[in-house]
A and B are shown apart, each in its own frame.
Chain A
Amino acid sequence: MSRLALALVLSAATVAFAAEGEFNVTLEGHKFTPDRIEIPAGKKVKFFVENKDATPEEFESEALKIEKVIPGHGKATIYVGPLKAGEYKFVGEYNEKTAHGVVVAK
């Protein structure tokens, strides 16, 4: 119960940190579209990732410090940045050969 309460409090806290800039990313056939995402440098942005495959995938990026499971036919919200200008790779950990992309901060 207390975990639920904690979750509620913390979810209320997220509202306070509302971020600018939103990007849609689709995963289909174990590929990301777009696989090159340009975002403004120095700003926190939001990715809405939709997994159209039946299998789960883990959006993972060492450079972006993100690790998030997206269930099959599921959606996930991911916060990215703020980043210094540069290129940051990400992969779908369960299908690394096909599922990969890069975030470009400008």
Chain B
Amino acid sequence: MFGTALIVFREVLEAALIVGIVAAATRGIAGRGRWIATGIAAGIAGSLLVAFGAQALSQLAAGMGQEVFNASILGIAVAMLAWHNIWMSAHGRELACHAQEVGGEIRNGSKALSVLLVVIAIAVLREGSETVLFLYGVALSGGAGRAAMVTGGALGLLGGVLVGWLLFAGLLRIPLKWFFSATSFLVLLLAAGMASQAARFLIQADMLPSLASPLWDTSGVISNSSMTGKALQGLLGYDARPAGMQIAFFLTALVVIWAGMGWARHRLPGNHPQTA
């Protein structure tokens, strides 16, 4: 039971951290609760599909279907997070003002939310499909352990959700003046980390050269299988033994999104009335 709880917790943790950041980053936008719930639900539905289509999926792309699929959805998530951050650079001040004045919410944020719905769905899908496969395997192999499996799975899920919630609650304590800068910074790291993980899958599929692998090895300090390693992997794509190509993807995403944010801040000043 404890083993099951631990594995489920590890899988849920990454998704929960991402949901926590997104939930905080969309503070002040009307109807975000419903959007986030929809994203989670879509992600769970997607995990079931991916888990039970695993055989078909892995045969695609000359046996590299899983890698291509993972790299593709990570790429989509990076694009969505980039769009969000650039949008926030233009509207962040507006959001902060509104949240301060009325404790209220702005109306025209549904575009930003639909983008983050996709990110949440992808995060839940990636970790969820592995959890489904794992639990399915346990259910198939051990008849007697089923009750223990359900309990373990639930405990793991609860633990993961709790950590995501703590991150969310912690972020909300940041003063409003700094709040959107802080969440934008986290989203920026999240996007760059996902770009690096996408590169890892393409290297695994032998579709990208690794460019010196590993570039360094910090697995003696923080291993990727430790809890800290898992959390850092979720937050910024931490890899104890990164390939040069992963670092190149990380830095490129970082610089491109950063430049986009700077551009948006100059071109679309958010403290002026918007004409949608």
Is B163 at the interface (CB under 8 A from chain A)? Answer: no
Q: How many residues of A contact B (CB 8 A)?
A: 36
Evaluate contact between A76 and B54: CB separation under 8 angstroms.
Answer: no
The stretch from B82-90, B133-141, B171-179, B185-193 touching chain A is B133-141
Q: What are 6 A-B interface contacts by the 8 Å CB criterion?
A: A6-B72, A11-B61, A62-B225, A74-B54, A74-B55, A79-B205
Evaluate contact between B61 and A14: CB separation under 8 angstroms.
Answer: yes
B102 vs chain A, min Cβ distance (A): 42
B239 / chain A contacts, CB cutoff of 8 Å: 65
B72 / chain A contacts, CB cutoff of 8 Å: 3, 6-7
A17/B130 contact (C-beta < 8 A), A10-B68, A62-B219, A93-B7 known: no
B135 vs chain A, min Cβ distance (A): 9
Q: Is the interface of B mostly helix, strand, loop or mixed?
A: helix
A13/B207 contact (C-beta < 8 A), A7-B68, A69-B66 known: yes
Contact with B along A27-46 (1 / 0, CB 8 A): 00000000000000000100
Contact with B along A67-83 (1 / 0, CB 8 A): 11111101111110000
Evaluate contact between A14 and B54: CB separation under 8 angstroms.
Answer: no
Most chain-A Cβ atoms within 10 A of its Cβ — which of B58, B67, B241? Answer: B58
Is B223 at the interface (CB under 8 A from chain A)? Answer: yes
A3 / chain B contacts, CB cutoff of 8 Å: 72
How far apart are the CA atoms of A88 and B243 in the complex, in Å? 16
Is A24 at the interface (CB under 8 A from chain B)? Answer: no
Is B144 at the interface (CB under 8 A from chain A)? Answer: no
